[in-house]
Amino acid sequence: MTRTSHSIADRMALIDASGIRKVFDLAAKMTDPINLSIGQPDFDVPEAIKAQAVEAIGRGHNKYTQTQGTADLRQTLAEACRDEFGWDDDRLYLVTSGVSGALVLAMLTMVNPGQEVIFADPYFVMYSHLVHLAGGKCVMVDTYPDFRPDAQKFADAITDNTRMIVLNSPSNPTGCVQTEAELRAIAEVAAEKDILVISDEIYNLFCYDQPFVSMASIYENTLLFRGFSKSYAMTGWRMGWCTGPREVIEKMTVLQQYSFVCAPSMVQAAGATALATDMSEQVAAYKRKRDMVVDALGEKFGMVAPGGAFYAFVPAPGGNATEFVKKAIDNNVLIIPGSVFSSRDTHFRISYATTDEKLAEGLDILASLA
């Protein structure tokens, strides 16, 4: 029987298997590694949220919902935004298959081939691949060494071909939380050319040293993305949401109809319960873990203390992150080389979303390797 060779679409050459997945594959071969690589909470979904989803399945919430999400959940989101932002308009809300799903929809809706999308370097790994998928061009703004967003650098990156700016605060991988002053400065830059800003706020609950400020509270032309995965440990449940300029949400909704169809119905039924759940205890636990990382590695590695999310982006001894990561893996600690998130390979990412015991053990080993 002759084997047919398949011609893969050219766009797939622009998308590499995630470096994080490669580390996970490696982890599968290790016996009981200290895993400081995975970006998902180590706590479980709160019981009230689980109970609501189970009850919804029992009540028959197992079918398609409206593409844009159930009316109940969208009403809850509108009320939450009215409380937070004072919005009392007829804006549209779209419930998506995770914030990842929202990113896919936004890139395919907004970016024409050859158009430019600006974001900070280091960046969440998905941004570059999705821009390429849409045929766009990535324009990265260097934020080393302190990862603060410099509005002037964003301004300098804008051309007549700029389609949008993507912001992520608190940030994956750096844990940087953008201040109101920084956001206002970027908003001014964007407003000058009426450029759409995507504000990816998936980690908005995990903010340790200052109140969280959303770009959506400052700049009207913002596409706001939030989710349930990180805040409520619902990573496998696949639900996020977005709101923003009406015509953009309308087109993203049409695209969802022909792709993801809708977010899982039983998860939507539990969405209001999730939004009403107090997560302050879990956030306090993660602040404590962040402090453990800073105490163990801050001075020794010359690390910038992260202000949010559950990551630290740490300078690698000797300046070669890939080499240091190999050393760490040889010592049973899984971390991610910075080249996965950046044009540089000078730092490595730690996720401290693990038990205090595992974290302490892993930090001891990393400190001794330095």
Q: Does domain 47-275 have CATH number 3.40.640.10?
A: yes
Q: How far apart are CA 177 and CA 156, in angstroms?
A: 22
- In the chain, the amino acid numbered 230 is K
When pLDDT is averaged across residues 192-216 and rounded to a whole number, the result is 97
Element at 312 (helix H, strand E): strand 311-315
Element at 35 (helix H, strand E): strand 34-35
Asked which of 18-27, 66-75, 174-183, 361-370 is least confident by mean pLDDT, the reply is 18-27
3-state secondary structure of 227: strand
Which has more pLDDT, 7 or 276? 276
Output the average pLDDT for the chain: 94
Helices 356-369/280-301 angle, 10° precision: 10
Pick from 182, 183, 193, 185: nearest CA to 158? 193
pLDDT of residue 12: 85
pLDDT in tens, 226-259: 999 999 999 999 999 999 999 999 999 999 999 9
pLDDT of residue 30: 76
Q: Does domain 11-40+279-369 have CATH number 3.30.70.2610?
A: no
Q: What is the CA radius of gyration of the chain?
A: 21
Query: Which residue(s) pair with 349 in the sheet?
Result: 313, 336
Q: Is the pLDDT of residue 18 over 70?
A: no
pLDDT in tens, 102-139: 999 999 999 999 999 999 999 999 999 999 999 999 99
Pairing of strands 311-315, 333-334: unpaired
| Residue in the structure block whose two tokens are 């912001």 | 167
Q: Is the pLDDT of residue 28 over 80?
A: no
Q: How confident is the model at residue 1 (pLDDT cuts 50, 70, 90)?
A: low
- In the chain, the amino acid numbered 219 is Y
Q: Is the pLDDT of residue 165 over 70?
A: yes
pLDDT in tens, 76-88: 999 999 999 999 8
Neighbours of 243 (CB within 10 A): 23
pLDDT of residue 106: 98
- Concatenated DSSP letters for 154-169? HHHH--TTEEEEEEES
pLDDT of residue 19: 65
Q: Is the pLDDT of residue 297 over 80?
A: yes
3-state secondary structure of 21: helix
Q: How confident is the model at residue 2 (pLDDT cuts 50, 70, 90)?
A: low
Q: Where are the domains of the chain?
A: 11-40+279-369, 47-275
Per DSSP, helices labelled H in 206-336 are: 246-257, 265-269, 271-275, 280-301, 321-330
Q: How confident is the model at residue 96 (pLDDT cuts 50, 70, 90)?
A: very high
Give this prediction's pTM: 0.94
Neighbours of 101 (CB within 10 A): 23
Q: Is the pLDDT of residue 272 over 90?
A: yes
Q: How confident is the model at residue 10 (pLDDT cuts 50, 70, 90)?
A: confident
